[in-house]
Structure 1
Amino acid sequence: MKKIYVLHENNEWTIHLQKRLDELSLPYELWHLDEGKIDLSSEPPLGVFYNRISASSHTRDHRYAPEFTEAVLAWLEKHNRIVINGTRALRLEVSKVNQYMALNAAGIATPKTIAAVGKKHIIEAAESLGMDSFITKHNRAGKGQGVQLFHSVQALQDYLDGPLFDDPVDGITLIQQYIKAPEPYIIRHEFINGKFFYAVRVDTSEGFELCPADACSIDDMFCPTDGASSAPKAKFEILTNYRPDFIDAYEAFLADNNVKVAGIEAIQDEDGNVYTYDVNTNTNYNSDAENVAGKFAMLELARYLGSLL
């Protein structure tokens, strides 16, 4: 019997999808790819294969999950299986450099960014960026990993020389233009089957842990925006009557890169300019925000995967 195969490395992030697949009586199987083996001379089973491997897998002691998944995807694609978020999506997931180059090729603005390996070159990159304030982040990250705001090159030097320096798993640190937003929030745009489904306003006043999954917790206290909320509000809020013109560019970008499921994050500066800074191809959804809005992305995703069977 043909099934939906969910390729992943974090059980907590599959629970809501499993619930919806069960609700729709769709046959499925989970492939946990933190480790394993694959006979390259064999043929994969028939079915639909949905890849949701995360760039942050190494933070859960699944260091080689993306590499093993890439091998599995190559095997599936060689045999012409239906793969949702295949090899190209995985390459975008694990490299913000790849993301930015692909976004720029689609005419989508990203913050000015310099990639550097080695502490000496990180400092040189910050100096050449020529900005009073800038942020650093990991090229292969997730969960806001490595995101810190600096207001001087000396502050960056102190961080690099101190005990709190966090070396990226792939060695590449990004030194990036600081986008000062008039209010502390970003907007995450969710896509299913390459089409816009909804947008989530994410409050960043308490930090830069932007993963909307119910299993996530806020443990990073570095924010890309200044200021704080004047009143308590939900961290995640699904927007209504929201479809800016750049959504069409996002959909074209996803089509060009064969990405079917994604969350694309953007921030607006004080002059109204929008910068896109992250593409998540293992996107998660927040149940509290969805219950308020009455829109359920995992249900929509399950229906989409079921239609491909």
Structure 2
Amino acid sequence: MSLLPATPVVHVLHENPDWFGPFQAAFEAAGVPYREWLLVDGVLDLDEAPPAGIFWSRISASAHTRGHGMSKDYTRSVLNWLEAYGARTVNGRRTIELEVSKVDQLTRLRAQGFDVPRTRVVVGTHRLAEAAADFPTPFITKHNQGGKGLGVQKFDSAAELAAAIAAGEYAEPEDGISLLQEFVVSAHAEVTRVEIVGDEFIYAITADTARGGYQLCPADACAIDPTTGALLLPPGATIMPEAGQQIFALREGFEHPIIDRYRDFLRTEGIEIAGIEFIETADARVVTYDVNTNTNYNAEIEAAAPKSGPGAIVAYLAGVLAASYPQVGGKP
């Protein structure tokens, strides 16, 4: 979108055009001015003031899997610069730390009283089997800088984990940090994700873990192999998805005290847009395990939902833009 530099717009900081389509459509349908800023590589002049507008970060913890290993630190630099100049950010500098660190997410969730999986943090893959020696079994491993189920594998013993590492079957985490985590068993082979935008509950969805395994990205691009276009059997899945089959479903009429607790959590952490995932166990635990701050939306869910996730985000951003530039109503 071509706009004059002085025009206040919503600057969208991201690194994956494949995920941007639904948001682009929502911006254009609402007539909200925006500009994409791909944080893959570039030049940043710290002596130059930021352009007019607000800045929404959609940087993902899995950027390195798309060849964008520099995006995380580039984003840190850009957000430091923006906030030093007083620019209005949405999911700003603090949020990127939560996005790229499961440890950060779990410690903050635990601090606010949420039930989270028992977790042991291991720095250095060579220490994993040793750390697992007295850990309750079965357990899963997980990459600290996650997304798309990175590094998530189930093991029945420390010896099995040691053998997998020796065989090269455990991928080295991007930041060198792995998690050993209790294997939480869902009562219904599903997890729930709660979508919140600007303190508003949008909707909840369920994900079929039998077919989705540990890779529960709802974006349509996550369902197929980017090279062959073939359907993928995600890590941890036990049933191969079929063409046209959805692993996500709208959780209609979802009312639960966890919604308000998540809203409180996000307010406390300064996060404005997120999808938070939890598991309901057979023994009545509600276990929260993931905070996704670059949340994506599934097209089938959007067609059935009472309100649109991307639409709610664009409406919220339009309000922030207007409040930040009242003299022009947020528009050129």
TM-score (norm: length of structure 2) = 0.88
SS of alignment partner, residue 109 of structure 1: coil
Structure 2 residue 296 is the aligned partner of structure 1 residue 281 = no
Structure 2 residue 123 is the aligned partner of structure 1 residue 117 = yes
- Aligned-pair identity (%): 39
Unaligned runs of 5+ in 2: 1-6, 225-231, 322-332
Cα distance 1:119–1:3, how it changes in 2: closer, same or farther (>3 A)? closer
Task: Let me know the Cα RMSD of the aligned residues.
Answer: 1.8
Distance 2:163 2:265 in 1: 39
Q: CA deviation at 1:32?
A: 0.1
Q: CA deviation at 1:220?
A: 5.6
Range that drifts further, 92-101 or 200-209: 200-209
Q: Who is 1:22 aligned against?
A: 28
Contact 1:138 1:174 in 2 (8 A): yes
5 Å matches for 1:165-180? 165-180=170-185
Runs of 4+ in 1 over 4 A off after TM superposition: 226-229
Unaligned runs of 5+ in 1: none
Q: CA deviation at 1:48?
A: 1.3
Query: What do residues 173-193 of structure 1 show as CA deviations (whole Å, max 9, x unaligned)?
Result: 100000011221111111101
Structure 2 residue 112 is the aligned partner of structure 1 residue 100 = no
Range that drifts further, 206-215 or 28-37: 206-215
Cα distance 1:293–1:195, how it changes in 2: closer, same or farther (>3 A)? closer
Query: What do residues 231-274 of structure 1 show as CA deviations (whole Å, max 9, x unaligned)?
Result: x9631111111121121211111011110000111112210101
SS of alignment partner, residue 215 of structure 1: helix
Q: Who is 2:234 aligned against?
A: 221
Structure 2 residue 189 is the aligned partner of structure 1 residue 184 = yes
Q: What amino acid sits opposite 2:218 in the alignment?
A: P
SS of alignment partner, residue 70 of structure 1: helix
Structure 2 residue 168 is the aligned partner of structure 1 residue 163 = yes
Give the alignment partner of residue 251 of structure 1, picking from 263, 266, 270. 263
How many residues of Structure 1 are paired with residues of Structure 2 in the alignment? 305
Distance 2:239 2:286 in 1: 19
Q: What amino acid sits opposite 2:179 in the alignment?
A: L
TM-score (norm: length of structure 1) = 0.94
Cα distance 1:227–1:111, how it changes in 2: closer, same or farther (>3 A)? farther
Contact 2:125 2:178 in 1 (8 A): no
Distance 2:176 2:314 in 1: 36
Distance 1:60 1:220 in 2: 19
Q: CA deviation at 1:120?
A: 4.0
Q: Who is 1:204 aligned against?
A: 209
Q: CA deviation at 1:8?
A: 0.1
